[in-house]
A and B are shown apart, each in its own frame.
Chain A
Amino acid sequence: MAAPSSLYTIRIRGRLGATALSAFPTMEAELDGDETVLTGPLQDQSAVFGVVAQIEALGLELVELRRIRPTPPQT
């Protein structure tokens, strides 16, 4: 039923610790300098804005948000 997700990267200022990362359970975290890059599928725009709200709520600084590619529909 679920619509195909798209893959997103989200760049956040600073290195996230275990607590902050637990807010984004479906995303993979990578360090890039003093920024954290989260990568993972987000189902739709609601999910995207949900993540942005979470970033805001934790007082994190959003540097960049990008859709990499739509995930090909699963067969």
Chain B
Amino acid sequence: MPGGKGATTGTSVADGQAAGGPVGAAPPGLLDRKDLLQLLDRAVAKRLTVISAPPGSGKTSLLRTWADHATKLRRVAFVSVERDQQNEQRFWCGVLDAVREPANPVTSAAPATAPAVDQVIGSVLAELAEHAGPVVLIIDDLHELRSADALTQLEYFLANLPGNARVVLSSRRDPPIRLHQLRLADEIAEIRAGDLRFTEAETRELLAGSRIGLSSDAMAALHQRTEGWAAGLRLAVISLTGHPEPERFVAEFSGNDRAIGEYLMAEMLDRQPGEIRRMLLRTSVVNRMNGELADLLTGRAGAEQMLLALEEANAFVVSLDAQRTWFRYHQLLADFLRLELRRTAADEVPGLHRRAARWFADRGEVVEAVRHTVAAGDWPDAARIVADHSFRWVLEGQAATIRTVLQAFPAGAAADHPDLALAHAAAELNQGRTEEAAAQLALAESHLQSGPPARRRRAVAIASLRLALARRSGRFSEVIDLVKMLDASMADTSGERPAVGSELRVVALLNLGIVETWTGRLIEAERHLSDAATLAQEIGRPYLEVACRAHQGFPSKTVSVTAARERGREAVALAERHGLGDHPIIAPALGAVGGMAIWMGEFDEGERWLRRAWEVGSAHVEPATAVLLHLANGMLQAARGRQRSALDAFTAAARTQSLLTGAHALAPRIAGWLATTQARLGMAAEARATLAAFSPEPGRASAIANARAWMCLLDRNPGMALEALHGIRNATPPTEPYSLVEAHLLAGNAHLRSGDRDAAAAAAEAALTAAEPDRLVFPFALTEAAELLDVLRHHETAHRALLADIADQLRGESAPGADREPPPHSDELTPSELRVLGYLPTNLTRAEIAHELHVSIHTVNTHIRNIYAKLGAGDRSVAVQRARQLRLLSNRLSPTSPNHLRSVRPRPAP
């Protein structure tokens, strides 16, 4: 459905149906140029072929014809970059569509939000790698790609191409990407304008094939004048077909000194019947059209037949879909037609754009509608369309659409059109630029007050953006004030459309609930988020529903750890059902599930969820969520005895927390464990400073007290440690279990140091009792409780099963292989394979592993194949399981921290 897809036309021609015409029989004006086809055949022996030549050189024709022939031998995926493509996400999604096997196309209705670009590129590489035989990806019209990011990503893509894949880039200009590595490896073939020129023999063949009788001299003259330029020859063929005096045409053409392209296009246009000329000129204002739109622009019926006939005559009309309902003009012709229309009927141009805008708007294609409204010069109208849709886009999480539509306006347009400020605010906020967002929002608000009677929806949009801005900046109390104000204002607008009221209500409750979550008011958050999620579902706002549910994966006095984990998983499943599984909004749920897994001692599981949380969150994760993710990562590192990495993570958590104006519920835990880790690493002064700088709210000091106890223990002062812990261990009502388990364990250690084994055993037993309901294994790993638990061997315990589990867990994480059989196969894995093996328990795709290790995906695939074979595993999870049993993983698993994914420098081995 090219109509809806927008930006990139991807066509898989594996079945030979989509590339113009039947295989083998070139349409008129198109020649099967065998020499050139063979040249391309030879070229694709190299990993990359660059076709670089001016417009009209016959690049696309060559590629289409070659693709038709080549599919007998290999799979060919074809993607054309659409005009002025500035959106890297759309570009890569188009590439992915093209490389997907035809059996599993993904061209369903566009998802509410698109996945992250990195993931799309990973998927493209994976799709290519999965293919059994050779596969060629052709990217045509690369010069239309105007996104610097996309070009950088293309460099990465080419550097990580699987061994079975070849890429052909076709462009008017040499592509501005660095190719030196491929060049050094002699893996680039180039085809340039000179190679694409028609030879005299080919010119002769072309004319003969079009049944144009010309004398040998005229033929030579035509070739000489066009210099074998493909578009020139094709235009000449169109004009010569049915020409009463072909010799005279050639003589006139050869004898004058007009610029070839313009002369031939003008000739071609002149020779068309009036109605076709009229249609060509008036439809040139749109980038793509179907019969209906063309009729509308032309002002009369019959355009579709004309377009079909022109395409069949190969007259620079290209159909975009297999059903031939959507068309576009060859760019050379389109540019000429636009100039000619402007020259001969300038006064009609704005009206044509207005018609096109209305037509696209009626079909919900807002981006195109805005583009044409801007082109018509109706700036205020265009800005209004944007403003009207901004609210919906915000509610649907469609930040990419907002960015795309804003590109239709020149920079600084927001100042002249305050309607745009709202969209700008949303775009800035999405990028985490809170100051810019606040400035735009202020502009939008001032306009609302001074301008014409405010539309309700716009006021609502501004209110919800203000809420989101305050929330994101961590100004928690401001959010609560705003919600109160909204509550009041909603009460006295009873006559409003109920849907608008409901949407605002959801937005208000959502933001309130999120703020309450992060400030630790979980009971209130629970109520508000549940209400909001239910309401969002009722009014059909899945993005908002997912946003609510994503913040409900936290345990509270009324929600157990197991239940919280289940809720987090359900939120993720809900997001996936709505195509939002890769959206940053789901990061809190992923982080919560990962965090809970870590609390329960399932460290690998927790690591997987955390990694996914960072991936979906990418640069756009909110600070409050980032605090959670850093903290959970610190826990993971600490549990594995990697104090250095834990320090980095806790420091990052503290730094991110300091970006928030309000206090994060996790702040005491962060300060406590940061100080603890500093102390354990011998940084006593830093540890003391961390604690001194932190003043916990009353009733939330247990994490800090634990940290003090740790420091006393490290100072070999068990008596003082016990003193510090006394309050936590004996509080009524009891301290929450997370701190309590740790407190008991620290006390146990203190008793052990003092030689009081009975008291130590009692403390250990108390820790187990507190840990049992939620299986809080993490504090045992954190405090390295193996020795303490040992004393329980000689005592009664009511928690025999949990104790055994924890003992296993502790052994597994800290003393790999110490008491096990030597692994029978380990020496069979090479060091490189072991390096790859270390990544298998993670979420990383093969492409990402390749990127991490700075090797090609081909190499990674080879290693993984060998690993599977040596471990007797059929897939990744079995391989991981087997490797764990063989103790191949636990002591060399290096890529654990989410930071690692982003950091360029190598991480020291733990």
Q: Which residues of A contact B (CB under 8 A)?
A: 12-20, 22-23, 33-34, 36, 56-61
Contact = CB atoms under 8 A, between A and B. Distances in A.
A53 to B, nearest CB: 10
A43 B173 CA distance: 24
Given A56-B172, A57-B55, A57-B332, A14 B260 contact: yes
Interface in B869-888: none
A59 B258 CA distance: 13
B342 interface: yes
19 contacts: A14-B257, A14-B258, A14-B259, A16-B258, A17-B259, A19-B266, A19-B339, A22-B340, A22-B342, A34-B257, A56-B173, A57-B55, A57-B332, A58-B339, A59-B54, A59-B231, A59-B260, A59-B332, A61-B259
Given A56-B54, A56-B55, A59-B55, A18 B343 contact: yes
B10 interface: no
B379 interface: no
B56 A59 contact: yes
Contacts of A36: 259
B59 to A, nearest CB: 13
A61 B259 CA distance: 8
Nearest to B227: A61
Most chain A CB within a 10 A radius of its CB, from B231, B261, B262, B340: B262
Contacts, number: 67
B23 to A, nearest CB: 29
A22 B340 CA distance: 8
Given A19-B343, A58-B336, A13 B262 contact: no
B335 interface: yes
Nearest to B342: A22
Given A59-B229, A60-B261, 8 more contacts: A17-B263, A17-B266, A19-B265, A19-B340, A20-B259, A57-B55, A59-B55, A60-B259
B258 A15 contact: yes
Contacts of A23: 339
A18 B231 CA distance: 20
Interface in B33-61: 54-56
Nearest to A16: B259
Interface in B583-604: none
A19 B229 CA distance: 20
Given A56-B54, A56-B172, A22 B343 contact: yes
A45 B846 CA distance: 44
B331 interface: yes
Given A22-B339, A58-B336, A15 B55 contact: no
Contacts of A16: 258-259, 262
A20 B231 CA distance: 17
B261 A59 contact: yes
A60 B262 contact: yes
Contacts of B331: 57
Most chain B CB within a 10 A radius of its CB, from A12, A16, A20: A20
Contacts of B339: 19-20, 22-23, 58
A22 B342 CA distance: 8
B342 A20 contact: no
A19 B258 contact: no
A16 B259 CA distance: 6
Contacts of A22: 339-340, 342-343
Contacts of B259: 12-17, 20, 36, 58, 60-61
Most chain B CB within a 10 A radius of its CB, from A12, A14, A59, A60: A59
A38 B96 CA distance: 44
Interface in B151-204: 172-173
A36 B261 CA distance: 14
A26 to B, nearest CB: 15
Contacts of B172: 56
B257 A15 contact: yes
A74 B860 CA distance: 64
Contacts of B343: 18-19, 22
B450 interface: no
B256 interface: yes
A19 B262 contact: yes
Contacts of A33: 257
B415 to A, nearest CB: 14
Contacts of A14: 257-260, 262-263
Contacts of B262: 14, 16-17, 19-20, 58-60
Contacts of A58: 259, 261-262, 332, 335-336, 339
B860 to A, nearest CB: 41
Contacts of B229: 59
A26 B409 CA distance: 23
Nearest to B173: A56
Contact of A15 (B256, B261, B266, B342): B256
A56 B331 CA distance: 11
B483 to A, nearest CB: 45
A19 B335 CA distance: 10
Most chain B CB within a 10 A radius of its CB, from A17, A22, A57: A57
A60 to B, nearest CB: 6
A17 B261 CA distance: 10
A20 B260 CA distance: 11
Nearest to B259: A14
B440 to A, nearest CB: 23
Contacts of A19: 262, 265-266, 336, 339-340, 343
Q: 7 smallest A-B Cβ distances: which pairs? A: A14-B259, A59-B261, A34-B257, A22-B343, A20-B262, A57-B335, A15-B258
A33 B173 CA distance: 28
Interface string B335-373: 110011011000000000000000000000000000000
A58 B261 CA distance: 7
A14 B172 CA distance: 21
Contacts of B261: 58-60
Interface in B305-342: 331-332, 335-336, 339-340, 342
Nearest to B229: A59
B874 to A, nearest CB: 54
A57 B84 CA distance: 13
A49 to B, nearest CB: 12
B381 to A, nearest CB: 26
Interface in B56-87: 56
